[in-house]
């Protein structure tokens, strides 16, 4: 499913079923040895997806460790992102010579709990959710908005090491094209990270899961000479499902 949202030079793997905990490298298993069973299962399967995606990219097999806050420590030559929701895990990777940043997020296609939309959405975003709900019922637009914000953060933080609050980015969702845009609002952050201040991504809903993805191509001057096309956040079109 995640591959529908990605350009051809990005590799991915996703799974709707968990793999055994024993599939982890010992160094990886140590990261969640004391975690609850649910966390151990999602971690093992997400790492399995990451290893499959890395293999498709031609990266030699090796443990994929994490920072103290849990962010995956990708090889220096790789940009990547992992996500997991109940019953779904996915990983996306790309060559760092072609991609500057990537972020993915998955959420169950269920309504946000009461009060959450008000805490994560700006007033124009809440109006957008109401409008999309009236015109395109059947999709949990509040959850799509939440996933897009999480996706933007996952693309943002590994490149900047700067925290973002939900109100720091304005999300605009196109309900028919399956796209969204994220615009950074705090002037200090815009000045510090202009390349990430206005980006776009894609979303889909399938098999009870909402998935969002952002891929920021590296600037032409930083790319492998074999790469083509402008550096920007993009992914191929998808149909509303």
pLDDT digits (tens, 9 = 90+) for 86-120: 989 999 999 999 999 999 999 999 999 999 999 99
What is the tens place of the pLDDT at every residue in 113-142?
A: 999 999 999 999 999 999 999 999 999 999
pLDDT at 231: 31
pTM of the complete model: 0.86
Domains (range + CATH), the chain: 2-222 (3.90.470.20)
Beta carbons of 186 and 164 less than 8 angstroms apart: no
pLDDT at 230: 29
Q: What is the pLDDT of residue 148?
A: 97
Q: Cβ atoms within 10 A of the Cβ of 184, count?
A: 20
pLDDT of residue 220: 73
Which residue ranges in the chain fall short of pLDDT 50? 224-241
Structure tokens at 63: 């443990």
Backbone angles phi, psi at 232, to 5 degrees: -165, 165
Angle at 157 between CA 176 and CA 66, to 5 degrees: 115
């Amino acid at each position: 499913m995640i591959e529908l949202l990605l350009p051809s030079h990005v590799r991915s793997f996703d799974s709707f079923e968990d793999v055994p905990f024993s599939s982890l490298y010992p160094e990886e298993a140590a990261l969640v040895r004391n975690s609850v069973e649910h966390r151990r299962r999602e971690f093992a399967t997400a790492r399995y997806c990451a290893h499959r995606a890395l293999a498709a990219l031609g990266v030699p097999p090796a443990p994929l460790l994490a920072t103290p806050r849990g962010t995956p420590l990708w090889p220096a030559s790789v940009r990547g992102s992992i996500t997991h929701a109940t019953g779904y895990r996915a990983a996306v990777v790309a060559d760092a010579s072609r991609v500057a940043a990537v972020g993915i997020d998955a959420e169950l296609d269920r309504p946000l709990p009461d009060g959450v939309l008000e805490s994560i959405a700006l007033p124009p975003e809440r109006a957008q959710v109401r409008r999309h709900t009236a015109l395109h019922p059947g999709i949990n637009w509040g959850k799509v908005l939440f996933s897009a914000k999480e996706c933007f953060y996952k693309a943002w933080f590994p490149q900047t090491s700067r925290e973002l609050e939900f109100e720091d980015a304005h999300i605009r969702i196109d309900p028919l094209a399956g796209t969204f845009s994220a615009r950074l609002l705090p002037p200090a952050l815009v000045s510090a990270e202009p390349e990430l201040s206005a980006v776009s991504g894609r979303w889909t809903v399938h098999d009870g899961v909402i998935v969002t993805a952002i891929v920021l191509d590296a600037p032409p001057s930083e790319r492998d000479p074999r790469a083509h096309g402008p550096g920007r956040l993009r992914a191929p079109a998808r149909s509303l499902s």
